[in-house]
Chains A and B, each alone.
Chain A
Amino acid sequence: MRLNATTNMPLNRLPESKPDLKKDKQDVVIPAIEMTDLCKVYSGETPVNALHNANLEVHDNEFFTLLGPSGCGKSTLLRLIAGFETVTSGNLKLFGEELSALPPEKRPINTVFQHYSLFPHMTVLENVAFGLRRQGKSERDAKMTAKEMLDLVQLDQYAQRYPKQLSGGQQQRVALARALAPHPRVLLLDEPLSALDLKLRQSMRVELKRLQRETSITFVFVTHDQEEALAMSDRIAVLSNGRIQQVSDPATIYEHPENRFVADFIGDANFFDAKIDKVDGEFTRYRLSTGDILLGPTTEARSEGAEVSIFFRPEKATVSLDLTGGLRGRVKDILYLGDSTEYRIYLADQSEISLKAENLKDGSPLAEVGTDVAVSVDPNAIRVLSR
């Protein structure tokens, strides 16, 4: 068990973990979860194809996040893993074992539900002990482990309360303790933070991350909040319309999105339709639809004249009053955001881009609304996508 040096919270020992099967075979790393061509169709009058040929590997002891807009199939994927939905086609394996035929109670997987789903007729302690009892632990052992778990989420003094007598944040932590208590191989979390207010959400991010590290349990976390995903995950899978768009670590997802959807969904981006004007070694001149020329990196397999889509992030560009270089535009709006200031700028063809400048000093704007400015972007911060 590793200790987290950055938090000063009392760290309590976890219940003894199960022997780790993986340790025996050191060469072959078996993924915690492996999906091959996993499909889910909800039958009904109008069948819904909620998941198309998903191929995915979640590593052991990983904080893995499923990120995507509402209705993209995140919960569906989670419910397939938990066993609440049946697989339409494809394979689903847990540490190398086929899962499809196992009912939920036979899978060493626990879930933290979006609305917590705590048993209202049981005390907090009974809720947390429920899974342990069903695993065959004696009442005494179950209660003892449950107490330790409540300790871990700092709710020990609420053991005898009923869920209704707790705040939303406390209920959330009971749900977490209940799901962690049986020490599952994989913990599934379906938007567990979405019902909490901002401050609580932020502190729970740290807490969840800490719990994942301490327990060494594989976490599969679902969210539609990209900031949350970037902050917490070891790796992220971005979903859209039942399809996996990209699987990578947070920095790669943000810096090198593979398609327009990922680029657009994670963070903000200024997109341009462009044509390759001239390839010049390491850098390429891109001619924008506005007529401006933007210097960007050279990408393989794209020749001069090719139609591409290029974009840059708002914080990668700088705005200046010196109109000698870069994209020409006029400031339309200035939004003061506290730590930074956002500039909305009209380009020549009336398209709008957004820039973000950190407020290093007093935050007074660099330009006024209505002034002409030049926008320059570091060529290395330009990203090129196929159109």
Chain B
Amino acid sequence: MKSLRALLVTYAGVMPSMLMLVGFLVLPLAIILVFSFLTPGPYGGVEPQVSVAAYVKLFFQKDLYGDLTFNSSVLEIAFRSVKIAAISVLGCVLLGAPVAYYIAQQPKRRRNTLLLLITIPFWTNLLIRTYSWIIILRDNGLVNNFLISANLTEAPVKLLYTEGSVVIGLVYTYVPFMILPIYAALERLDAGLIEAARDLYASKWRSVTSVVIPLAAPGFTAGSILVFIPCLGTFVAPELLGGGKHLMLGSLVQMQFAAGRNWPYGSALAMMIMAVVLVCLTIFALNARKTGGGMQH
């Protein structure tokens, strides 16, 4: 009995965080998992009848004779989603890393102001911010008007409703998630190490590539994960800036829960996103271990 009490005492301390985890993470996930194995209700929702139809539907469709034939369209969308998310991560690194580096170089008080500025876009609704990109990118939008008035092009360049515009929207939305962790890593970096590199004949640029970037790697990793995952599941940018022509997995999920009224299928798609994320992260982690071979942390 004594040991049970000791156990209780030990676990009482972690109870609140356990409850949080269960409430916010495990429970919703469990619901999605259960839903994916049920039958769709006529007006959305689910009927309590076990079925794997939703998973079958991911890869097969019924042809005219009622036979199941392989359907690659979901896989294609998954593949495109990974591609667009990966390109967006790259875009966020290219844009976010210099910004993070610049902020980390500023005097302390200025840094906090700049960090606050980074978060300003979050103060307005995502939908509205994404709409404003339409105004910028459309055929008679800001960019094209400028290009035409500067005589750089005669006819407007097609910018909107391309994969490019989706990437722009995603980079714009998620770049703060890249900036903040990289900044955190850079801020912790000992400035003396950069001086040591310069002292040992490394140019400014060389000291960044051989000292700053390797030591800020954890920040880059965290930022990439923080950007990659929501990019995969997003539907706002593909919908508005992709014109519905460049669907991503997130759009599919959203469709099943809205107009499609097929909750089990939507849940199965959500599980698939999780699977894709897991696979990608595993590949990423294996790669990191190989290249970062001797790193001791």
Binding site for B on A (CB under 8 A): 82-84, 103-105, 109-111, 113, 115, 117-121, 123, 130-131, 134-135, 162, 164-165, 178-179, 182
Contact = CB atoms under 8 A, between A and B. Distances in A.
A120 B192 CA distance: 12
Closest 6 CB pairs of A and B: A131-B200, A134-B201, A117-B196, A117-B192, A104-B198, A162-B296
Contacts of A118: 196
Given A84-B198, A113-B195, A130-B200, 6 more contacts: A103-B204, A119-B193, A120-B215, A121-B295, A162-B294, A164-B296
10 contacts: A110-B200, A111-B195, A117-B193, A119-B196, A119-B197, A121-B215, A130-B200, A162-B294, A179-B200, A182-B200
Given A123-B294, A165-B296, A110 B199 contact: yes
A117 B211 contact: no
Interface of B: 190, 192-193, 195-204, 206, 210-211, 214-215, 294-296
A103 B205 CA distance: 13
B195 A84 contact: yes
Nearest to A79: B195
Contact of A105 (B192, B193, B201): B201
Q: Is the interface of B mostly helix, strand, loop or mixed?
A: helix
A135 B198 CA distance: 12
A273 B204 CA distance: 56
Nearest to A128: B200
A35 B199 CA distance: 20
A326 to B, nearest CB: 54
Contacts of B214: 121
A115 B295 CA distance: 21
A206 B201 CA distance: 29
Contacts of A119: 193, 196-197, 211
Nearest to A163: B296
A105 B204 CA distance: 9
Given A123-B294, A134-B206, A164-B296, A182 B201 contact: yes
B250 to A, nearest CB: 37
Contacts of A162: 294, 296
B202 A134 contact: yes
A179 B201 CA distance: 11
A115 B192 contact: yes
A81 to B, nearest CB: 11
B200 A178 contact: yes
A16 B193 CA distance: 28
A352 B202 CA distance: 56
A120 B215 CA distance: 8
Contacts of B197: 119, 130
Contact of B199 (A104, A115, A121, A135): A104
B199 A82 contact: yes
B220 to A, nearest CB: 13
Nearest to A104: B198
Contacts of B206: 134
Contacts of A110: 199-200
Nearest to B215: A121
A136 to B, nearest CB: 9
Nearest to A178: B200
Given A117-B190, A119-B193, A134-B206, A111 B199 contact: yes
A118 B295 CA distance: 14
Contacts of B215: 120-121
Contacts of B295: 121
Q: Which of B195, B214, B295 has the most chain A CB within a 10 Å cutoff?
A: B195
- Which among B192, B214, B215 has the greatest number of chain A C-beta atoms within 10 A? B192
